[in-house]
């Protein structure tokens, strides 16, 4: 048995840093709370450096008795997770200071969620996947509930918790069936067991698979398991929405890839049918219902549902191209959403929360740069070239057409046309409408502004030269 | 530098546009920078025009480097006789648009000029692209600046018009994207347009691809019955926006039919030609009748554009009709270039009056000729050109297409020729009501004749209109070989 812990050093470091931050918070004075931010950034940057150092290219490293895996997919996604988490911390610093939640526990919970993501990304065992998921989910429930005086937040947290716990239960129930049918929990062994004598327990496996898929797509937020997404997006404070809406997606998608492609690929015939139906529904409901929204957070929630449908379409193809398209889509989506939330965070000031579409009225007049970034975000989400979102959709469509799913591709593009409408509406509000009083932007300091500017520029850069990121994604998948 | 000319034509305006956007705090500086960018772009396109070898069959000024190698997408530019004239027209019109907005646009000057420069660069790329995805990227990217142009500087109903424009055109292009990906898979992983020319396709596949392309290009042209966005977009767009929309953007639809539809799906084109000819004839006659009753000058010219673009699609599909008529194809291309000048000129004239009176209603005018004699002369010339008077550019293309129709079927010719009467009716009647008669209100009484900028723009357009009318040879000779190549290409069946 392999008991080396080398591959898990960054995660162990993160866990230690979380304890340090919790202790630190108890000892520093209220006027020095920015130390928390500095330590959090240090933890994330340290984790990033260790991660780079730990990885040996071209080799699959295992730890904890093969329950923990560090392959190139894990390495790539973890590095992106660290970067997105660092940018998130930079964006939300001002906001949480303003909302008076600049406390150790916020950062500790946030880092716990990051740790959960890292564990999910590296899990090589069904139970470790589950543990990572629970670590992430519990931390997220905490983040949503942190604003305890708001009924909306509390309601959102309760919904999130109850539904999330139910979904976790379904997942665990499904896992137990897989274990019963194969006698294994290790992903590669499950794969082997199904491919050698899968037909023996086919009924049992498919029965379990239904529960697993239900649990997994709950995390993605596909219809009909989507109702928590808009409620949680709207109910949480922007800082928490930013975490849920952006960086978390990376881990969720790797989680599904590991489950369905790594372990249960032999059952792809069954689950791809389920995914395709859920994806159709999600595209339809996500895009149509988003039109009626007036709250941006809620709108972005429904838009996430529609975007995750594209990811499900990519998974459905079970091809190398399709899966690398899924990874590409996820990264692009996370970067795009982060820039969008960044703008909203900067516009929230003195207890005011920038969350209605009307709050952005006339933004171009008062702050052309922020309006420009939001414009890039919206067109990228709508999938208009030359922005990153176009190539994300393009690669997925290509994977679909390659395997002959032409009707799905046509359906997807027709519904993304409907989707374009509500993104355009936000651009319209910013550019076409005028407002008497200009919007106030919080004085966030230089670093966040530079970060946001780079973030927005990246959407254009990936749009013009997407091959670099595509290469990285293909490499992550092929090895 | 010589082998990068198309890239220079494409990127000069785009880079200039970005510079103007960021350094345009000073309005005056923004204007001069934009003009400089537009002129440099125009010079590059003029070099291409003069260096173009009209006897060479195939692609000239070719640039081909890998762009997204995983997906076999190349940065592949090049022009032939069909696309080259559009490149020149596009950059020429941009210079005029920047000049036309010099005094008029006082609101977000930098953004305005920058959006037009971006549009120009994107459209040059569309005409020069030989890789399907490169084409598509710029084809769609055009929507962003145009959406902002209509929405920010348009008049009362601008938001509705901007949405309608964006969603209509996006619907078409998304279906085209699926068709392109399909072609990629059947052609052995290539996005090269010329590879598609050689790819065999079954009739069913051809018809489906035709439909996808049709939605994309017919919306852009626009053909009846998917034309309804245009009369909404035009009146609401600022003068410059209308000029670019009518003079260049619509041509992309016609160009798309020539570059993609005819050579890639020749059999489906032949099969569906009667339908397309019918739609074109409906556009010519029905939309001509609609134009007569318009009360709004810009709407009137917008409808007249649709009717004139009907000749383009008519000529294009007569070419694959029962009797393959090269007249039709040449007429279609000539008509596109000519309409570029005339539509730009008509919208410019209306813009000149709108800036003085702030009304587009015909009823608010009358007797303008007595107050603005120089302007009246120009407007007369352009109105005559719009109704297809021999000696102006409007005549050449329409005449060629009517010849082609008569060759095919006398009835087609008869119906197409009705448009000459209708064109004269709606244009000259509008001219009469606006320019002649008594001065009937104090706004008209206060009108001053054209200023320097307007004079330069109108004079340049007048030169274009007359040149194309009296000596079209210089354009026609450059496109001859390109047209011939297309003829050979389309003659082959791909089934």
Residues A399-450: tens digit of each pLDDT: 888 888 888 888 888 888 888 889 998 988 888 887 655 667 777 788 888 9
- Domain ranges in chain B are 2-491
**A276 at the B interface (CB within 8 A)?**
no
Terminal Cα-to-Cα distance of chain A (whole angstroms): 24
Cβ atoms A80, A469 nearer than 8 A = no
Q: Is residue A1 part of a domain?
A: no
Angle between helices A296-316 and A320-347 (to 10 degrees): 170
Which residues in chain A touch residue B151, judged by CB atoms under 8 angstroms apart? 428, 431-432
Mean pLDDT, to the nearest integer, of A209-233?
88
**A461 at the B interface (CB within 8 A)?**
no
Within 10 angstroms of residue A366's Cβ, the number of other Cβ atoms is: 15
Residue of A nearest to B187 (CA): A402
The SS3 of residue A442 is: coil
pLDDT score of A50: 92
Over the Cα atoms of chain B, what is R_g?
Answer: 21
Q: Is residue A62 part of a domain?
A: yes
Pick A384's closest partner by Cβ from B68, B140, B162: B140
Query: Contact A385/B151, CB-based, under 8 Å?
Result: no
Mutation site for A-interface testing, chosen from B67, B177, B237 by largest number of A Cβ within 10 Å? B177
Is the per-residue pLDDT at A46 higher than 90?
yes
Cβ atoms B386, B378 nearer than 8 A = no
Is the per-residue pLDDT at A337 higher than 90?
yes
Dihedral sign of CA atoms B471, B475, B478, B483 in order: negative
Smallest CA–CA separation between A409 and chain B, in Å? 7
Smallest CA–CA separation between A471 and chain B, in Å? 7
Query: How long a stretch of residues is chain B?
Result: 495
Label each residue of B43-100 as H, E or C: HHHHHHHHHCCCCCCCCEEEEEEEEEHHHCEEEEEEECCCCHHHHHHHHHHHHHHHHH
pLDDT band of residue A83 (cuts 50, 70, 90) is very high
Instruction: Tell me the β-bridge partners of A186.
Output: A125
pLDDT score of A439: 67
Query: Contact A414/B174, CB-based, under 8 Å?
Result: yes
**A332 at the B interface (CB within 8 A)?**
no
**Tens of each residue's pLDDT in chain B, 495 residues:** 567 888 888 888 888 888 888 876 777 888 888 888 889 989 988 888 888 887 887 788 888 888 888 788 888 888 888 888 888 888 988 888 888 877 777 777 788 888 888 999 999 999 989 999 999 999 999 888 888 888 887 777 788 888 888 888 888 888 888 889 888 888 888 888 888 888 888 888 889 999 999 988 888 888 888 888 888 878 777 888 888 888 888 889 889 998 888 888 888 888 888 888 889 988 888 988 888 888 888 888 889 888 888 888 988 888 877 776 778 888 888 888 888 888 889 988 888 888 888 888 888 888 788 888 888 888 888 988 888 888 888 888 888 888 888 888 888 888 888 888 888 888 888 888 888 877 777 777 777 777 878 888 888 888 888 888 888 788 788 888 888 888 878 877 777
**A470 at the B interface (CB within 8 A)?**
yes
Query: Contact B182/A401, CB-based, under 8 Å?
Result: yes
Is the per-residue pLDDT at A470 higher than 80?
yes
pLDDT score of B468: 83
Using the structure block, give the residue that is written with the tokens 């109105």. B383
Smallest CA–CA separation between A191 and chain B, in Å? 29
Query: Contact B152/A431, CB-based, under 8 Å?
Result: yes
In chain A, the number of structural domains is 1
Is the per-residue pLDDT at A468 higher than 90?
no
Is the per-residue pLDDT at A334 higher than 90?
yes
Q: Is residue A422 part of a domain?
A: yes
Q: Which of A347, A382, A394 is nearest to A367 (CA)?
A: A347
ipTM score here?
0.87
Pick B151's closest partner by Cβ from A390, A401, A431: A431
Is the per-residue pLDDT at A1 higher than 60?
no
Residue of A nearest to B168 (CA): A417
pTM (2 d.p.) = 0.90
Query: Contact A397/B144, CB-based, under 8 Å?
Result: no
Smallest CA–CA separation between A218 and chain B, in Å? 30
Is the per-residue pLDDT at A80 higher than 90?
yes
Query: Contact A385/B140, CB-based, under 8 Å?
Result: yes
Report residue A162 as tokens.
């109850």
Percent of chain A with pLDDT over 90: 30
| CA distance linking residue A262 with residue A259, whole number of Å | 6
Smallest CA–CA separation between B255 and chain A, in Å? 20
The helix (run of H) or strand (run of E) holding residue B128 is helix B109-128
State how far the alpha carbon of B40 is from the alpha carbons of B13, B47, B67, B94, in Å: 8, 11, 26, 11
**A28 at the B interface (CB within 8 A)?**
no
Query: Contact B137/A390, CB-based, under 8 Å?
Result: yes
pLDDT score of A48: 93
Query: Contact B140/A394, CB-based, under 8 Å?
Result: no
pLDDT score of B1: 55
pLDDT score of A85: 94
């Amino acid at each position: 048995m392999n008991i080396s812990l080398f591959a898990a050093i960054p995660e162990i470091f993160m866990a230690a840093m979380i304890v340090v931050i919790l202790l630190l918070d108890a000892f520093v004075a209220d006027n020095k709370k920015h130390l928390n931010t500095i330590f959090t950034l240090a933890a994330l940057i340290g984790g990033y450096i260790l991660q780079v150092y730990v990885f040996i290219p071209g080799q699959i490293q295992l730890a904890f008795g093969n329950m923990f895996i560090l392959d190139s997919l894990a390495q790539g996604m973890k590095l992106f997770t660290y970067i997105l988490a660092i940018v998130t911390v930079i964006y939300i610093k001002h906001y949480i200071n303003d909302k008076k939640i600049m406390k150790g526990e916020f950062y500790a919970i946030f880092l716990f969620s990051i740790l959960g993501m890292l564990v999910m990304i590296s899990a090589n065992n069904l139970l470790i996947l589950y543990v990572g998921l629970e670590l992430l989910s519990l931390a997220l429930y905490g983040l949503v509930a942190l604003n305890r005086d708001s009924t909306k937040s509390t309601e959102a947290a309760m919904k999130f918790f109850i539904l999330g716990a139910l979904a976790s239960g379904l997942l665990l129930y499904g896992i137990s069936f897989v274990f019963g049918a194969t006698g294994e929990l290790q992903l590669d062994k499950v794969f082997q067991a199904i491919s050698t004598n899968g037909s023996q327990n086919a009924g049992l496996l498919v029965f379990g698979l239904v529960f697993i898929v239900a649990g997994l797509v709950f995390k993605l937020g596909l219809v009909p398991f989507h109702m928590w997404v808009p409620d949680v997006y709207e109910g949480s404070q922007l800082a928490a929405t930013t975490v849920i809406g952006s960086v978390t997606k990376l881990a969720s998608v790797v989680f599904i890839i590991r489950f369905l492609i790594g372990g249960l690929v032999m059952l792809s015939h069954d689950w791809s049918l389920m995914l395709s139906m859920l994806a159709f529904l999600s595209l339809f409901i996500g895009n149509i219902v988003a039109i009626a929204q007036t709250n941006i957070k809620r709108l972005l929630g429904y838009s996430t549902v529609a975007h995750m449908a594209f990811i499900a379409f990519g998974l459905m193809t079970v091809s190398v191209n399709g899966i690398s398209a899924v990874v590409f889509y996820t990264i692009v989506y996370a970067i795009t959403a982060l820039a969008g939330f960044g703008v909203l965070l900067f516009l929230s000031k003195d207890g005011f929360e920038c969350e209605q579409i009307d709050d952005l009225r006339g933004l171009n007049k008062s702050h052309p740069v922020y309006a420009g970034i939001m414009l890039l975000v919206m067109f990228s989400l709508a999938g208009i070239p030359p922005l990153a979102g176009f190539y994300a959709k393009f690669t997925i469509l290509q994977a679909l057409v390659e395997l002959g799913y032409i009707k799905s591709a046509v359906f997807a593009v027709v519904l993304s046309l409907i989707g374009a409408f509500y993104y355009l509406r936000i651009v319209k509000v910013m550019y076409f409408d005028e407002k008497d009083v200009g919007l106030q932007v919080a004085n966030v300091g230089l670093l966040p502004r530079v970060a946001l500017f780079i973030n927005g520029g990246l959407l254009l850069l990936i749009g013009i030269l997407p091959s670099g990121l595509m290469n990285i994604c293909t490499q992550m998948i092929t090895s | 530098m010589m082998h990068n000319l198309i890239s220079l034509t494409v990127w000069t305006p785009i880079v200039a546009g970005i510079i103007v956007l960021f350094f345009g705090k000073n309005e005056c500086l923004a204007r001069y920078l934009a003009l400089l960018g537009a002129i440099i772009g125009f010079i590059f396109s003029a070099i291409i025009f003069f260096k173009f070898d009209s006897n060479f069959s195939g692609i000239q000024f070719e640039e081909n480097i890998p762009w997204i190698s995983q997906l076999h997408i190349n940065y592949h530019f090049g022009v032939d006789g069909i696309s080259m004239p559009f490149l020149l027209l596009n950059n020429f019109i941009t210079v005029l648009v920047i000049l036309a907005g010099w005094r008029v646009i006082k609101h977000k000057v930098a953004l305005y000029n920058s959006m037009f420069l971006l549009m120009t660069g994107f459209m040059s790329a569309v005409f020069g692209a030989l890789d399907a995805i490169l084409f598509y990227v710029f084809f769609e990217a055009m929507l962003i600046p145009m959406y902002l142009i209509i929405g920010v500087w348009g008049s009362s109903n601008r938001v509705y018009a901007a949405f309608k424009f964006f969603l209509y055109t996006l619907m078409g292009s998304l279906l085209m994207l699926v068709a392109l990906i399909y072609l990629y898979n059947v052609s052995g992983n290539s996005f090269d347009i010329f590879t598609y020319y050689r790819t065999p396709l079954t009739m069913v596949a051809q018809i489906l691809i035709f439909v996808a392309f049709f939605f994309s290009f017919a919306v852009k042209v626009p053909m009846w019955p998917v034309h309804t966005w245009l009369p909404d977009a035009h009146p609401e767009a600022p003068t410059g926006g209308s000029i670019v929309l009518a003079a260049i953007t619509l041509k992309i639809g016609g160009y798309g039919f020539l570059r993609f539809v005819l050579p890639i799906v020749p059999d489906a084109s032949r099969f569906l030609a009667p339908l397309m000819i019918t739609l074109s004839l409906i556009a010519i006659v029905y939309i001509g009748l609609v134009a007569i009753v318009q009360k709004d000058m810009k709407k009137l010219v917008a409808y007249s554009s649709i009717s004139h673009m009907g000749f383009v699609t008519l000529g294009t599909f007569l070419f694959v009709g029962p009797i393959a008529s090269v007249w039709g194809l040449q007429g279609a291309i000539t008509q596109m270039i000519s309409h570029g000048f005339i539509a730009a000129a008509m919208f410019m004239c209306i813009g000149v009056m709108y800036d003085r009176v702030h009304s587009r209603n015909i009823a608010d005018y009358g007797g303008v000729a007595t107050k603005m004699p120089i302007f009246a002369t120009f407007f007369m010339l352009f109105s005559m050109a719009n109704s297809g008077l021999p000696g102006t550019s409007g005549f050449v293309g329409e005449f060629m297409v009517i010849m082609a129709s008569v060759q095919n079927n006398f009835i087609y010719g008869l119906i197409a020729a009705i448009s000459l009467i209708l064109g004269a009716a709606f244009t000259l009647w509008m001219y009469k009501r606006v320019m002649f008669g008594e001065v009937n209100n104090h706004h008209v009484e206060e009108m001053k004749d054209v200023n320097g900028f307007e004079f330069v723009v109108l004079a340049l357009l007048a030169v274009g209109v007359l040149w194309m009318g009296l000596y079209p040879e210089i354009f026609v000779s450059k496109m001859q070989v390109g047209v011939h190549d297309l003829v050979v290409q389309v003659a082959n069946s791909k089934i």
